[in-house]
Amino acid sequence: MAGLISSFVGNQMERETSLPGLSFFKVTTPQPPTPYLYEPSLAIIIRGRKRVVLGNTTYIYDASRFLLTAVNLPTITEVTEASPERSYLSLLMKIDLQMARQLIADVETLGPKAEIPHKAMATGPATVDLMDATSRLVRLLDQPHDMLHLGSLVQREILYRVLTSSAGGRFRDTVMMGTQSQRVAKAVTWLRDHYTQPLKIEALAELAEMGVSTLHHHFRKVTSMSPLQYQKHLRLYEARRLLIAENIDAATAGIRVGYESISQFNREYRRMFGAPPIRDVAPLRST
């Protein structure tokens, strides 16, 4: 599988495949800490090692473990093992939440709902069965006709393997209707879709069907940050993306992501990324 992924990516760092939601990654040197917004997804490392920081929690995983994410989570990622001789190789499969809910409903042995919310990110063992299914999915990319008919079936098998793993319970609890974690996920989704708008915590708590203090408590359990911190991360991550992708100035970026005070934007940007906006992205604009 390493050879297939390496040849598919070629000299690029990232490449999307013909299967929607499936991407491959390859780097030949360790990478510095970089902001990254995870979507609901399964990340599998074929070769190398990676560190992911979510709030005050650090996840370290390699080819022996996978990373499972249930909601959009702003993180800092760092590839810690990679070399020209043994490049870092990984894949990311975005998870269809409708497929996940249907699978959970179909397979009763997945277990009951949890009463206490957990973080919406977890690592689990990359078992032989999981890696076998993953390898078959990768090989299907060279067989478009088979991919058309078998791709979703193999994805469902992969999802089954992770949901029945030690990490699957956290994902299941976050997507199952009626759990505390799922109510928090509703609030997360709203913030993701409306991060440029002023945050009204009472309205967000009402959306999540919780009291304000309960929402704060459970939101932090699921995301490792408060709703306001989460919104700030989304705004600053998007501003950084805009600065790099569209080559705009800092004031324009700040306004577009919802800041009314440019000085506040510059201050919070520097606090998060370690440098003022333009200085931070200058090396990335030139590459």
User: Residue 8: pLDDT above 90?
Assistant: no
Banded model confidence at residue 118, pLDDT cuts 50, 70, 90:
confident
For residue 67, the cross-strand partners are: 43, 123
pTM over 0.75? The answer is yes
Is the distance from CB of 4 to CB of 138 less than 8 angstroms?
yes
3 state DSSP class of 81:
strand
| Model confidence pLDDT, tens digit, residues 17-42 | 989 899 999 999 999 999 999 999 99
User: Residue 161: pLDDT above 70?
Assistant: yes
The stretch 171-197 carries a mean pLDDT of 91
Domain with CATH 1.10.10.60 in the chain: 229-285
Is the distance from CB of 172 to CB of 105 less than 8 angstroms?
no
Tokens read off for 23:
């991407």
Tokens read off for 44:
């599998």
Is the distance from CB of 72 to CB of 39 less than 8 angstroms?
yes
Provide the greatest CA pair distance for the chain: 55
| Model confidence pLDDT, tens digit, residues 218-275 | 999 999 999 999 999 999 999 999 999 999 999 999 999 999 999 999 999 999 999 9
Phi and psi, residue 94, nearest 5°: -65, 140
User: Residue 287: pLDDT above 90?
Assistant: no
Q: Distance between CA atoms of 93 and 134, rounded to whole angstroms?
A: 10
Q: What is the mean pLDDT of the chain?
A: 92
Q: Where do we find the tokens 């609890």?
A: 173
The stretch 79-99 carries a mean pLDDT of 95
Identify the pLDDT of residue 10. 85
Query: Residue 107 carries which DSSP code?
Result: -
- List all residues 6 or more positions away from 122 whose beta carbon is below 8 Å from its beta carbon: 59, 67, 68, 167, 170, 171
Which residues in 70-155 belong to E strands, given as ranges? 73-81, 88-94, 121-125
Is the distance from CB of 276 to CB of 266 less than 8 angstroms?
yes
For residue 275, the cross-strand partners are: none
Q: Distance between CA atoms of 191 and 172, rounded to whole angstroms?
A: 21
Name the residue among 249, 239, 237, 212 with its Cα closest to residue 227.
212
Per CATH, the number for 2-173 is 2.60.120.10
Report the run of H or E that residue 59 belongs to, with start and end.
Answer: strand 57-62
User: Residue 284: pLDDT above 90?
Assistant: no
Domain with CATH 2.60.120.10 in the chain: 2-173
Query: Residue 284 carries which DSSP code?
Result: H
Give the CA angle between residues 102, 106, 112 to the nearest 5°: 95
Q: Out of 81-85, 178-182, 229-233, pick the least confident.
A: 178-182
| Fold classified for 229-285 | Arc Repressor Mutant, subunit A (1.10.10)
Tokens read off for 220:
């932090």
3 state DSSP class of 55:
coil
